[in-house]
Amino acid sequence: MATSNNTPTEFSTNSLAVKAAELSHVLAPFISKSQSISICTGEENDYFLRLIVDLAELIEGIQSTFEQDGKGNHALVYLHYFSGRNDWFITKKNVDGGVDQAFSYVILHGDDQNAKLGYILIRELTRLGVELDFHFTPSTLATVKAERERRAA
């Protein structure tokens, strides 16, 4: 590639765009088609490229099923999905490194009193258009519960 004065332009394989492209396969199974389209067509290109890289690296770092066993409220919540008044807080992923099955703290219809811990299928959430919270900061399950209580008060 050359600039207008025929001076070659440097192409950096370390650029944010290249890194985002390399990691996009990690993120793709964790987001719905509508969110994927938003990322690809958004006007804030650098923001979304950084988001792809950050989320992909976070997903790659999610502990497998057995690494958080017994931690209870001290388990780290990595991802938050939401749809209406329904929330899924992901604490573990499939031990084989897959994306299908994850362990989650689930709140349906905003009913925190009847929230449950259990396994979910990520592909079912994304197929239904449930959205991944791009602004969620990983924190312990105790922190998530306390924040929800504070907001409900």
Query: What pLDDT, in 10s, does the model give residues 42-78?
Result: 677 788 888 889 999 998 888 665 677 888 899 999 9
pLDDT digits (tens, 9 = 90+) for 2-27: 455 555 555 555 688 888 888 888 88
Query: Is 146 a member of any domain?
Result: yes
Tokens for 121, please give them.
């299928």
Give 88-147 as a DSSP string.
Answer: EEEEEE-TTS-SSEEEEEEE-TT-GGG-EEEEEEHHHHHHTTPEE-TT---EEHHHHHHH
Query: Is 5 a member of any domain?
Result: no
Query: Is 89 a member of any domain?
Result: yes
Please enumerate in sequence order all residues whose Cβ is within 8 A of that of 65, keeping only pairs 6 or more positions apart, or say none.
Answer: 92, 93, 94, 95, 103
Query: Is 2 a member of any domain?
Result: no
Query: Is 10 a member of any domain?
Result: no
pLDDT in the model for residue 68: 77
> What is the span of the domain harbouring residue 137?
16-152
Query: Is 6 a member of any domain?
Result: no
Query: Is 3 a member of any domain?
Result: no
Query: Is 9 a member of any domain?
Result: no
pLDDT in the model for residue 9: 52
pLDDT digits (tens, 9 = 90+) for 87-119: 999 998 875 655 678 899 999 999 999 999 999
Q: How many domains does the chain have?
A: 1
